[in-house]
Amino acid sequence: MFDLVIRNAAVLDGTGAPPRTADVAIEDGRIVRVGEARDGGAREIDATGLTLAPGFVDTHAHDDGALLRYPGMEFKLAQGCTTVVAGNCGFSVAPATREAGRLVTGSAILAIGGSPVTWTDLAGYLEAVDGRRPAVNAIMLAGHNTLRYAAMGNEQRPPAAEEQARMRGWVEEAMAQGACGLSTGLIYEPGRWCATEELIDLCRPVAAAKGVYATHMRNEGDQLLDAVEETLRIGREAGCAVHISHHKATGKANWGRVAASLARVDQAAGSQAVTLDMYPYIAGSTRLEALYRIGRIDGEYAQALRLATVPGHPEWDGLRVTEVADLLDLPVDQAVKRILEGRGSETLVIQFTMDEVDVETNLRHPLVMVGSDGLPVLEGKPHPRLFGTFPRVLGRYVRERGVLTLEEAVRRMTSLPARVFGLAGRGVITEGAWADLVLFDPATVADTATWDDPKREPEGIALVVVNGAVALENGRHTGAGSGRALRYTPSAAT
């Protein structure tokens, strides 16, 4: 007798192969039969008319704190995500020396809730995550901003030899403790003060562990191609795989440039490992202060900025920056300063700076995965990508616009990220694999989260199974808490 049998689903195994109707039987957290399951299950589900796929991997998450603060992880689970890759854009919660701990507790995005930072290394953090019994699995990148801040504060200079050695030591330790690689966020402080050579050196232990360098590049606008060049060079010289985060071209003058960027990636892919991710929206989201500090906000840019969450000023949530300037009767630059006062330094904004054509160009490319980049700040009006990313790709871009096939979309949400981020035994439906599964209706699956009403769970997701346990069923979160902190397994990577 199996624990669970899902019968008659159209099974997409995650490899990109077309669907085939089969029963999938689960025992002790693993898939033990794909085909015809003659024996019964303690629980049987008739999935006629529905599609069964491996659980989706959110390749670009900022859930380091959320896994402790919101272990139910409803916003990800409801999309069919069963694993998140966190520690992105250079910000991770480990290693946490006292300085890094301050960075973590001071940031709304990484906030861990009421509990103190109890760990000093990745191993300690992963233990804390397991202790919270999260709904989804998680694997971590070590964040360069965190390491650099811990080693040398916000200094605008190259690291001294011993500072570089400390950072390298932390990367080595994180890789030994199960990190899947190193992330950077090169528009943010202190990461933006680094030279390329610093990163090549820090990527050597990543290469030794066969991990991946994941980067929020130095520029996503006028100098997008230079930034791609820098990324490829780091991968070549350090000898590691590279992964471009939230690939895009921002600013009207640069629309269309993702095509050139992808062409360069194609050319490089012949001789080095390179992949990318993207979220299916024409707006990004980040901290207003970060944009302000790189001098990004001029009058025109301000028009494209909408406030998502303003701590201390909920009445401004959802307004354009220019609208707040009008309300305050201040010029835009002074209004921005006012918004950033006090707790306002944690203000999150949404930037409408991208082109719909670029979104589709990205989605058509076989090396592009899906990553929500969702910022798990549930107050105010967060970017709807936090709740809608994966169903939006399946509904809007697969079903409605026909940009890519369903099996190809599923491949790029499952087996491809599982290989690159070292998720051994996941990302495929095959006998022996972990039973991370999502059952959905391809005819109705859709995001419902909007700019004005962003915290809405998607439609068309019938069932989500994490490590063999039913975690979500017809919109109901079961509280199974069957997710795990995962350790990078290079044998899963090629």
CB of 60 to Cu ion, least distance (A): 6
Contact 157, 164 (CB under 8 A): no
Residue type at 192 in one-letter notation: R
Instruction: Give the C-alpha separation, 458 to 79, whole Å.
Output: 6
Q: Which does 361 bind (CB under 5 to 8 A by kind): Zn ion, Cu ion, none?
A: none
Q: Which is nearer to Cu ion, 168 or 247 (CB)?
A: 247
Instruction: Give the C-alpha separation, 248 to 262, whole Å.
Output: 10
Closest CA to 381 of 454, 457, 287, 284: 454
Q: Which does 320 bind (CB under 5 to 8 A by kind): Zn ion, Cu ion, none?
A: none
What dihedral do alpha carbons 454, 456, 458, 463 form, nearest 10°? 140
Which backbone phi and psi does 196 adopt, to 5 degrees? -55, -40
Question: Where do contacts with Cu ion occur on this chain (CB under 5 A)?
Answer: 88-89, 373
Q: Which is nearer to Cu ion, 186 or 437 (CB)?
A: 186
Q: Which is nearer to Zn ion, 177 or 372 (CB)?
A: 372
Contact 139, 87 (CB under 8 A): no
Q: Which does 353 bind (CB under 5 to 8 A by kind): Zn ion, Cu ion, none?
A: none
Q: If DSSP codes are grouped into helix, strand and coil, which group holds residue 22?
A: strand
- Kindly state the helix (H) or strand (E) to which residue 482 belongs, with its residue range: none
Alpha carbon distances (Å) from 91 to 124, 127, 289: 17, 19, 16
What dihedral do alpha carbons 18, 22, 23, 25 form, nearest 10°? -50
Q: Which is nearer to Cu ion, 289 or 373 (CB)?
A: 373
Q: Which is nearer to Zn ion, 33 or 216 (CB)?
A: 216
CB of 88 to Cu ion, least distance (A): 5
Q: Which is nearer to Cu ion, 117 or 141 (CB)?
A: 141
CB of 384 to Zn ion, least distance (A): 17
The first and second tokens of residue 142, run together, are: 């070590």
Using rule CB under 5 A, residue 487 touches Zn ion? no
How many distinct helices (H) and strands (E) make up the chain? Answer: 18, 20
Q: Which does 257 bind (CB under 5 to 8 A by kind): Zn ion, Cu ion, none?
A: none
Binding mask 71-100 vs Zn ion (x if CB under 5 A, - otherwise)? Answer: ------------------x-----------
Beta bridge partners of 84: 58, 138
Near Zn ion in 193-222, by CB under 5 A: 216
CB of 181 to Zn ion, least distance (A): 15
Near Zn ion in 214-273, by CB under 5 A: 216
CB of 324 to Zn ion, least distance (A): 24
CB of 48 to Cu ion, least distance (A): 39
Residue ranges that bind Zn ion, judged by CB under 5 A: 89, 216
